[in-house]
Every structure is written in structure tokens, then in C-alpha cells.
Structure 1
């Protein structure tokens, strides 16, 4: 999680902690998730709360638990084709329609992800339809839609 994301989570927690108790309700967590476009059903909510060791029947969630939930949610977020296009647009003026290792590393870092050079090289090799150590937005979208991320 980036420092900016952590600051946003902290701000959200402070807004939801209306009484200044240092805790928010599980329904407040659901509201914050909806703010990210995540609409968990009851079972998903139990799993989300379980990440931070929050008992589903407990209504109190501490700041550290809230942070843990959102670290996991933000890290587990699935990239959509639109997200991939946004990543390509972030690259800047040096962008020529192909993403190279340094671009992918910078984009991942800005999302709070850490990859080794070897992992990036492997991703590019698998995503690219050519053997030039780069990939287009279409190739990356295709790769992400079929890849199993662990």
C-alpha cells in the first residue's frame, strides 16, 4: 500500500469514527468498501473481516484492523482493462505504445506492488506476442485476463 493510499484509509477511518472512540462498526467498513466500488455479499464480508481477525458478530473494528482490511482489499483488487489503460497513460511522454520492464516496474511501484526484475521479465515474455521484451496494452489485457496470479 502506498503512503497516499494509507493516508486515504486513515482519513476514511477518521470520518467514519464519528464519536472518536478509535473504532468503527462493521457496517461502516461495508460503507467504505462501497466507496471503492466493492459490494461484498454476507459471505464475502465475513471473509473480508476475517483477514483482520474481526469476529463477524462483533460490531467494533479498530484502526489497525481497518487498515489491514484495506491493505488486503487494495492488494487483491483485480485490474480491469480500463485500469490497464490508465497504467499505460501514467507512463508519460516516453510511451510509444509498448510497455517495457522499467514502465511495468514503475506502474507496479505506484500501485504499492513489488516485483523483482526477473518477475517483470517473465510477465513481459508471457504477455508479449513478439520477442522484444515489451508488450502493448492489448497484449497486457489479454495476459491479465488469462493469467493465474498467486
Structure 2
């Protein structure tokens, strides 16, 4: 028996991803599978074990992927483009909705590089005003049947906005 948390996991790209605990997630976009010793386990198989990479600080994940803060950025921090949790009920409701859209197209909203960027730690970065238009755009693309690439395009656009946000 492998002692790992049970939770949903969706691949954020094709291929295999090796995590530090030695287990390998393998498959295609949106496919929750776990490879243990060459055997694939999935939702429809005998085993229901799924693994989620432990959440790390976004900056740590970006650095591990070879993505470093731009020179000259004021107080850079690894930033979830669609927030990880949200502050207050209004933000939390939007975050929950947005994360469901990301998961639907195979993006891990917490550890997926598609939802991470470097951004300055300035006022206005983690506000409802910053979050609402992002979730509105994600909702629209989701309702239109948008796919992975469409969602990534929106995340990149809002990641660029966050990275260029100036102190108020």
C-alpha cells in the first residue's frame, strides 16, 4: 500500500511527470492515471489511488522549471494567475469556479506552470478587481467549449497583466 493523499489529478500536458516520491504520473491531457512499477492505475481500474504533487510555493515551482524572475522586477514572487484560495467569500467563489474550468481542460490550478508567473508584490495584485475579469473570460471560453490552448491563452494574458502591475 502506498501512503499518498487521495484527490483528483489531471495531467497538464502529455508525457510522464516524475515526482520526488518516486511515483510517476503518466498519460495524456486530462487523464488521471498513476504508474506504479510499470502498472497503470486509473479511475476505471481496480485501484482508485490517485496522487497529487504536494503544493509548493509557486516561486519554487517556477525556479525548478527554469523560469526565473525578470531582472528589475519589484519584490518578485511566484504568483498564481488564478488565485490559489482567494480572500473573502466573493474571491473564494470565483476561485472555485475558475479552478473547475482549469481542471476541466487538464490544468492543475495549484501546481500547473500554465497558472504560474512571476509578478511584483504590489497593491492590487490579489484583489477582486484583478480576479473578476479573469474568471469572466475563463467562464466565457468554458461556455463556448474552449479547450486547453484557449484557457492557456487567457492565463498568459492575465499573467502578463500581473507581471506588469505597478505599485499604487
Do they superpose with TM above 0.5? no
Q: TM-score, normalised by structure 2?
A: 0.25
Larger proportion of helix: 1
Larger proportion of strand: 2
Q: TM-score, normalised by structure 1?
A: 0.27
